[in-house]
Amino acid sequence: MLSFTEENYLKALVELTVFDADSDEVGVNRLATCLEVKPATVSDMVRKLRNKSLVNYEKYGKVSLTSEGRLKGMMVIRRHRLWETFLSSKLGFSWDEVHELAEELEHIHSEKLINRLDEFLDFPEFDPHGDAIPNQKGEILLPFRRTLSEIEVGKRHRISAVRDQTEVLQYMDRIELKINQEVTIEHREAFDGLTTITYGNRTSVVSPKLTENIFVVCAECGKAKCSCK
Amino acid sequence: MLSFTEENYLKALVELTVFDADSDEVGVNRLATCLEVKPATVSDMVRKLRNKSLVNYEKYGKVSLTSEGRLKGMMVIRRHRLWETFLSSKLGFSWDEVHELAEELEHIHSEKLINRLDEFLDFPEFDPHGDAIPNQKGEILLPFRRTLSEIEVGKRHRISAVRDQTEVLQYMDRIELKINQEVTIEHREAFDGLTTITYGNRTSVVSPKLTENIFVVCAECGKAKCSCK
DNA sequence: TATAAAAGTTAGATTAGTCTAACAATTATT
DNA sequence: AATAATTGTTAGACTAATCTAACTTTTATA
Ligand SMILES: [Mn+2]
Ligand SMILES: [Mn+2]
Ligand SMILES: [Mn+2]
Ligand SMILES: [Mn+2]
């Protein structure tokens, strides 16, 4: 049985090498920053995870997940996202409150519990932030993702997901920007990336700090990578 | 914030000094047995809990809860019993499965979560084993309890609660003995305590190992201590 | 390519929770 | 009251997860 700590390392590795898909391996420093511990701590820990066949790693090399490690990490994310969905849809928590609670709940070790919860929630596909929920086998829809900071001016898009960070979510609440809402970029300032967006009957000027955390798809075809005119 | 371990010590102390109410203090050995650790471990730990003002204790003396310790312990039990109720009533787990899962869930630290859960479950008074659920203030109905092994022959009683032990619960399922069922003792063998009981349209011979774990009240007045003829 | 910077490792310390083995205090029994 | 049994404490060791400080390897740059 894995400890909370080991599970958090595997979860972070999935996030760094599967979701943020530039590379399927990652350095010790990067992992340390992400987990908010010192590189020395990570060095020790990845050796331990290698001995359990959960990661590939050798001294001074990069770290990557084995298929077993990837599955274990994916299951932590499945639990996290299902609990977030439960808290939001059944207990009425707002989308900026659920992540912190799910950080604890994700470590409850019972496959039966999580599958029953999945059923109770009617097998949701997405969590409250628009992130896909891995299935029982650890499989997940991994769409190519594009952020509001990358798309061209003038074309209608729809918000599909948001990075799960309290401040982002609370800010979006404040300007009434929601998942599934259609958004158009009116103007993007080359100098500092300040962006004017319209949505519903509103117009807002927002910074890259926000637009980099919002994922969108084409409003017409529903895809992030599309060839609609 | 208390660790899992500290919470388990407080929970055990509530069980030993509040529920099993012969005395409001307990020795190190007893506590050690109950927690399945060695007395040496308990000696260290209770000193630590005393320094946090959660227990009263001095070297070679007995251990008892302070009011703060009692409240903290009671809240662990509140969480445990609410999660058991959730697992049973919403996720369809059987009464012999819920305890083990609740042992993990009881350590999720969020008062807001547990109060929302309470509301979601419609403020249940009892968990699936008939145990009262402490309220938000840590108050609990503490009925005088009498077991099936103690009551007189011939008088009708009703099962109010069962000690939460997997084997007991599974055995009761097997002989179709349920909470709220009316039971009469037909005969109790003085030699070994073997007891013949009737309930519904059945008769069973059961041992003290079972009857000592089943709590009953008078079928007429609903009290454990009654003067009905 | 030589050197500087960045990335990564190791050694030694710390904290929480546990253990065993030896010892000390309290309580029960003759 | 003396002795035995029970109960409880202490010292020293171990594991997991973390840190700091010193050191080494790899990578980037002049
Ligand atoms: Mn989250
Ligand atoms: Mn976590
Ligand atoms: Mn229980
Ligand atoms: Mn527990």
Residue B47 identity: R
How far apart (Å, rounded) are the C-alpha atoms in residues A103 and A35?
13
Q: Which residue has the tokens 């409150």?
A: A97
As a whole number of angstroms, the longest Cα–Cα distance in chain A is 57
Tell me, in Å, how far CA of B28 is from C1' of C29? 23
CB atoms within 10 A of CB B102: 25
Interface residues for strand C (CB within 7 Å) are: A 27-30, 39-40, 42-44, 46-47, 59-62; B 3-6, 36-38, 40-41, 44-45, 48, 60
Please tell me the predicted confidence (pLDDT) of residue A65.
98
Least Cα separation, residue B163 to chain A (angstroms): 23
Average model confidence (pLDDT) for chain B? 96
- Look at the domain B77-142 and name its fold: Arc Repressor Mutant, subunit A (1.10.10)
Least confident residue range of A34-38, A79-83, A187-191: A187-191
Three-class SS state of A33: helix
Please tell me the predicted confidence (pLDDT) of residue A144.
85
Write out the two tokens for B99: 């305890």
Band (pLDDT 50/70/90 cuts) for residue B53 is: very high
Please tell me the predicted confidence (pLDDT) of residue B66.
98
Closest Cα in chain A to B92: A116
Residue of B22 and B139 predicted with greater confidence: B139
pTM: 0.95
Three-class SS state of A182: strand
Q: Where in chain B is the domain with CATH 2.30.30.90?
A: 146-218
Band (pLDDT 50/70/90 cuts) for residue B143 is: confident
Give the bases of strand C that a protein CB approaches within 7 Å.
7-12, 16-22, 25-26
Q: Where in chain A is the domain with CATH 1.10.10.10?
A: 4-65, 77-142
Taking the alpha carbons at both ends of chain A, their separation in whole angstroms is: 52
Closest Cα in chain A to B108: A104
Tell me, in Å, how far CA of B49 is from C1' of C14? 20
How far apart (Å, rounded) are the C-alpha atoms in residues B15 and A24?
50
Who contacts A155 (Cβ-Cβ below 8 Å, separation ≥6)? A184, A185, A218, A219, A228
How far apart (Å, rounded) are the C-alpha atoms in residues B100 and B89?
16
CB atoms within 10 A of CB B91: 17
Query: SS3 string of chain B?
Result: CCCHHHHHHHHHHHHHHHHCCCCCCECHHHHHHHHCCCHHHHHHHHHHHHHCCCEECCCCCCEEECHHHHHHHHHHHHHHHHHHHHHHHCCCCCCCCHHHHHHHHCCCCCHHHHHHHHHHCCCCCECCCCCECCCCCCCCCCCCCEECCCCCCCCEEEEEEECCCHHHHHHHHHCCCCCCCEEEEEEECCCCCCEEEEECCEEEEECHHHHCCEEEEECCCCCCCCCCC
The percent of residues above 70 in pLDDT, for chain A, comes to 100
Please tell me the predicted confidence (pLDDT) of residue B225.
87
Whether the pLDDT of residue A21 is over 80: the answer is: no
User: Residue A176 has what DSSP assignment?
Assistant: T
How far apart (Å, rounded) are the C-alpha atoms in residues B47 and A79?
37
User: By C-alpha distance, which of A140, A120, A119 is closest to A131?
Assistant: A140
Question: What count of Cα atoms within 13 Å lies in the side-chain half-sphere of residue A36?
Answer: 1
> Residue A35: beta bridge partners?
none
CATH code that applies to domain B4-65:
1.10.10.10
Q: Could you give the C-alpha distances from B54 to A21, A101, B6, B115, in angstroms and in order?
A: 49, 26, 10, 24
Band (pLDDT 50/70/90 cuts) for residue B188 is: very high
Write out the two tokens for A97: 């409150």
As a whole number of angstroms, the longest Cα–Cα distance in chain B is 57
CB B192 within 8 A of CB B218: no
Question: Which of B91, B108, B110 is nearest residue A117 as measured by Cβ atoms?
Answer: B91
Band (pLDDT 50/70/90 cuts) for residue B115 is: very high
Chain A interface with B: residues with Cβ < 8 Å: 87, 90-93, 101, 104-105, 108-110, 113, 116-117, 120
CB A127 within 8 A of CB A84: yes
> What residues sit around ligand 2, an ion, with C-beta below 5 angstroms?
A 8, 103
Taking the alpha carbons at both ends of chain B, their separation in whole angstroms is: 52
Q: Which region holds residue A62: left if phi is over 0, alpha if psi is between -120 and 50, else beta?
A: beta
Average model confidence (pLDDT) for chain A? 96
Least Cα separation, residue B87 to chain A (angstroms): 8
Please tell me the predicted confidence (pLDDT) of residue A227.
84
Three-class SS state of A156: strand
Least Cα separation, residue B104 to chain A (angstroms): 6
Please tell me the predicted confidence (pLDDT) of residue A228.
83
Band (pLDDT 50/70/90 cuts) for residue A44 is: very high
Residues in chain A within 8 Å Cβ distance of B113: 87, 91, 101
User: By C-alpha distance, which of B69, B67, B71, B75 is closest to B112?
Assistant: B75
Question: Which of A101, A108, A110 is nearest residue B110 as measured by Cβ atoms?
Answer: A101
Using only C-alpha atoms, what is the Rg of chain B? 19
Band (pLDDT 50/70/90 cuts) for residue A20 is: confident
Question: Which of A90, A108, A116 is nearest residue B120 as measured by Cβ atoms?
Answer: A90
Closest Cα in chain A to B111: A101
CATH code that applies to domain B146-218:
2.30.30.90
Q: Which helix (H) or strand (E) holds A76?
A: helix A67-89
Mean pLDDT of A94-110: 97
CB atoms within 10 A of CB B208: 16
Q: Are B113 and A101 within 8 A, CB to CB?
A: yes
How far apart (Å, rounded) are the C-alpha atoms in residues B134 and B181?
24
Three-class SS state of A86: helix
Band (pLDDT 50/70/90 cuts) for residue B169 is: very high
pLDDT tens, position by position, B72-101? 999 999 999 999 999 999 999 999 999 999
Interface residues for strand D (CB within 7 Å) are: A 3-6, 36-38, 40-41, 44-45, 48, 60; B 27-30, 39-40, 42-44, 46-47, 59-62
Three-class SS state of A185: strand
Least Cα separation, residue A108 to chain B (angstroms): 6
User: By C-alpha distance, which of A56, A64, A7, A60 is closest to A35?
Assistant: A7
pLDDT tens, position by position, A48-74? 999 999 999 999 999 999 999 999 999
> Chain A to chain B, count of Cβ pairs less than 8 Å apart?
30
Residues in chain A within 8 Å Cβ distance of B88: none
